[in-house]
Structure 1
């Protein structure tokens, strides 16, 4: 029964996330926000909603290790699984913003999370507020840089203008469906994960860093694979890096404001956070060696292989 709840929960999270993105973009157009601002802020927050709802629900249920495992596992999955599979299907070009701005910021946020957790074994409301404030600074510079970029219109094309024609009633229905699906999806996913962990005799954290993390990364994976198959430039390394930044800053930031996030499982600081840092840091040498500014099939296979090893070790622990 626990597997049934997990599967239904994952489906509801995917559906809820899609409707929330639609509602958010439609409302943003009604408020006359530019496509660029919508793409960089509204969509980024909306696509982090599954991770946020799962983490908040887990923290309220007293399972803060699930909240941490969800974010750490999702960040690893975004690079190892999503980026890896996408690169195997179609090589990804890397722009200069990758190593000049986005990659350093992602590494800084990842290191900040490591030091905050290793300091006292928990993430407090004050520390979460600091992460949210840092996210605000990041968004300010991100939008300012995008406005100066010659590729502004190209980057903004990923936002569907047709959603701007939706009525307020339709936007409200989308928002209602999205919120309802995300609520029950997160509730059933966390409940099913806890029951499954008890039934098979492994930790809740191991389930969260693997099954739940992959589940909340399904929307990004589906969008990336479809875009790669269609040879569209709808997915980029910058998008996935941005998602990792939002996961740390917004998901854990908001969750810790509601309730302190405690490090319960030793694997969090013992091994898995190093995997997250490793996947983040290895992107820089991959971007330049051997072929400059491109992540192709062999690099993608390396990332997927490393991710499979991570999953195997997580269950073996």
Structure 2
């Protein structure tokens, strides 16, 4: 029981700390004349993946490869099947001005297709991790070059009206990093204890429990945006988050310590992540932003949960 309490508290600290880091980084950028588009291309794409990165790197350091990889696969599946499934059902109208296929979702195909090829030998090496990490750099460069004229409604423009306070910002940044590091460490440790106590594999714990916890920021932000009539923002954020998960999160974890992968146990989840990503690409390419798409994504979520819980 105590491990469940520690897990919930540590996940809360992890998510809360990530929020501190994102907000204070935005404040520094706003008050020091850094391009708003660069803020969006980096912070918004990477920020919501900070919990996943902290959890996966912590798992990698502890030698728990299953949790590190399963966290990314589960988070990517939940981001699309759960979060976007609900967004499509909740939003009354989705008509994005931005070409989400050409400028965003098509880029997801690179890491999602290359990742399965990298693990054919049963491991993700440091070189593999570096190559995945470099893909995010290419994506960010593309965003900056292709869309610097676009206004990012995600950013809190009200920050510009604030009086900047360095001591407060540094204190909150420090608090955020402490919460993220400590939260990730305790989250992985308590999750491993839960797995051992109930005889559940670390793969399933990472795939469901940790993945759902680290996907909460995307869920909250996206549902809020959908209710405010900004569902296109939700789609863009999920695409950026999944791109960061597959490239930066997996890349960072592999560069920290090479990851071993059980191809037999992980194959269904790897193929499902590829499948749900292809569904997202198909939806954006054909602009199928409708409730029917939401229903189809939630059906995929049900298949994912049924398989994971019966494993």
TM-score computed with the length of structure 2 as normaliser: 0.93
Deviations 1:237-288 (A, max 9, x none): 22211111111111111222211111147322x2100010000011244346
Tell me the CA shift for residue 45 of structure 1.
Answer: 2.3
> Is the contact made by 1:65 and 1:265 (CA closer than 8 Å) also made in structure 2?
no
State the superposition RMSD in angstroms. Answer: 1.8
Structure 1 CA distance for aligned equivalents of residues 287 and 58 of structure 2? 40
Structure 1 CA distance for aligned equivalents of residues 138 and 86 of structure 2? 32
Tell me the CA shift for residue 10 of structure 1.
Answer: 1.7
Could you tell me which residue of structure 1 aligns to residue 288 of structure 2? 294
Structure 2 CA distance for aligned equivalents of residues 129 and 137 of structure 1? 13
Structure 1 CA distance for aligned equivalents of residues 284 and 30 of structure 2? 36
> Is the contact made by 1:76 and 1:275 (CA closer than 8 Å) also made in structure 2?
yes
In the TM superposition, 1:247-286 aligns within 5 A as 247-264=245-262, 266-268=264-266, 270-286=267-283
1:186 to 184, 187, 197: 184
1:211 to 209, 212, 216: 209
Tell me the CA shift for residue 305 of structure 1.
Answer: 2.2
Structure 1 CA distance for aligned equivalents of residues 186 and 9 of structure 2? 7
Tell me the CA shift for residue 294 of structure 1.
Answer: 3.5
> Is the contact made by 1:92 and 1:294 (CA closer than 8 Å) also made in structure 2?
no
Could you tell me which residue of structure 2 aligns to residue 97 of structure 1? 99
1:64 aligns with 2:65: yes
> Is the contact made by 1:102 and 1:241 (CA closer than 8 Å) also made in structure 2?
yes
Could you tell me which residue of structure 1 aligns to residue 300 of structure 2? 306
Listed as ranges, the gaps of 5+ residues in structure 1 are none
Tell me the CA shift for residue 15 of structure 1.
Answer: 0.7
Listed as ranges, the gaps of 5+ residues in structure 2 are none
Could you tell me which residue of structure 1 aligns to residue 45 of structure 2? 44
Moved over 6 A (4+): none
Tell me the CA shift for residue 296 of structure 1.
Answer: 1.9
1:140 aligns with 2:141: yes
How many residues matched?
A: 307
Deviation larger for 88-97 or 194-203: 88-97
TM-score computed with the length of structure 1 as normaliser: 0.91
Structure 1 CA distance for aligned equivalents of residues 138 and 36 of structure 2? 20
Secondary structure of 1:93's match?
coil
Structure 1 CA distance for aligned equivalents of residues 141 and 157 of structure 2? 24
> Is the contact made by 2:55 and 2:188 (CA closer than 8 Å) also made in structure 1?
yes
Structure 1 CA distance for aligned equivalents of residues 216 and 256 of structure 2? 26
Could you tell me which residue of structure 1 aligns to residue 3 of structure 2? 2
Could you tell me which residue of structure 2 aligns to residue 160 of structure 1? 156
